[in-house]
Amino acid sequence: MATKRTSREATISDIAAAAGVSKATVSRVMNGVATVNEEIAQRVRATVAELGYSPSATARSLSLGESRTVGVVVPDLANPMFHQVLHGLNRAAERDGYRVLVADTQEHSDAESETVLDIRNRTDAIALFAPRMSREKLLELLPNISPVVVFNRTTGKRAGAVLIDYADGIGQVARHLIALGHTRIAYLQGPPQARSNMARQDGLDLVSEEHPDVDIVGVPCGSAFEDGYGAWPAVRETRATGVIAFNDVVALGFLGRLSEEDVRVPEDISVAGFDDIPFSRYSSPSLTTMTARLGDVGERIWTTLLAQMRGEADLEPTMFAPELAARSSTGAAR
């Protein structure tokens, strides 16, 4: 018959009316409940196809009391390190029949809490990546968004937590350079408010204590390509022979600058990054960095989330230990 061309989408009532059955029957057909006369089921399916009906997930979620969807809030989708974690999380969630919805706050930190709440209120749980959020705000937020797992933040068991041992990791890089004979090392600092930067500082402080003969000097930098690129003058001033960047992105930006300045790596200067983003293997020279099994991190975030949803909340933080991936950008001190 004449297909409705109105603006409104078809609803279950439309299908029920058109097929001459009740809403309950349509619902049963849509959900594959077996107890429906095959002839009627056929008719319903035909009507569904004809009217291009697909059930409102919103109404379904409200009725069921769950959406089978989890939210992920990240500060910047462009950060390659998130991708690997997201990938693991996505795969694991999918395996258990859940959908992952990602919201990018674009470092827009004042609206961050609001975004998190909104996402949480349309999903069953949330994974929170908020490296810059103040601890105060975080702790205020957590009780209102459970089930929740935070990445790389401590919560005093107020929420699930999965973290990477940055302090230990950066220590490994530093010792790697020291073993290569470097005694003057520059650290290209990340954003001062970032927890991951603080952890790295702590790790370097420890190394400094162990090696009084080694100078580790901090250079204010950032977390983007251009920050690394722009750090060269400051680094040159330190006369460091080894450079540890906040992350691979910074290291690669820095490497790009060194190439322009005809500074040889690692002959003149050694450079190391952190995170082992996919590209770090393919830079020239390939980048020495810290690698963590980020896919597993994502998977772990998922299992922690799922446990909470099932009421088996285990709020003991999980710590992942990164490993050194020594490649061509580091060598003996000149």
Partner DNA sequence: TTGAAAGCGCTAACAT
Partner DNA sequence: ATGTTAGCGCTTTCAA
Q: Which residues bind a second copy (CB under 8 A)?
A: 2-3, 5-7, 52, 54-59, 61-65, 67, 69, 77-78, 80, 83-84, 86-87, 90-91, 94, 99-104, 106, 108, 115, 117-122, 143-144, 225, 228-229, 252-253, 255-257, 259-260, 278-279, 281-286, 311
Does residue 284 interact with DNA by CB under 7 A? no
201 vs 223 by CB, closer to a second copy:
223
27 touches which of DNA, a second copy, none (CB within 5 to 8 A by kind)? Answer: DNA
Report the C-alpha gap between 148 and 161 in whole angstroms: 9
d(CA 223, CA 299): 25
Cα 227 to Cα 9, 167, 206, 289: the distances in Å are 49, 22, 26, 18
Amino acid at 138: L
Give the separation between CA 21 and CA 82, rounded to whole angstroms. Answer: 48
CA gap 220, 250 in Å, rounded = 12
CA dihedral sign, ordered 256, 257, 262, 267 = negative
Stretch that binds DNA, among 50-58, 98-106, 290-298, 315-323 (CB under 7 A): 50-58
- Contact indicator for 201, 174 with CB cutoff of 8 Å: no
Closest to 227 (Cα-Cα) out of 273, 267, 262: 273
Rule CB under 7 A: choose which of 46, 52, 63, 323 binds DNA.
63
Q: Judged by CB under 7 A, which of 22, 134, 144, 193 binds DNA?
A: 22
Nearer Cβ to DNA (119/245): 119
For DNA, the binding residues (CB under 7 A) are 1-3, 8-9, 11-13, 20-25, 27-28, 30-31, 35-37, 39-41, 53, 55-56, 59-60, 62-65
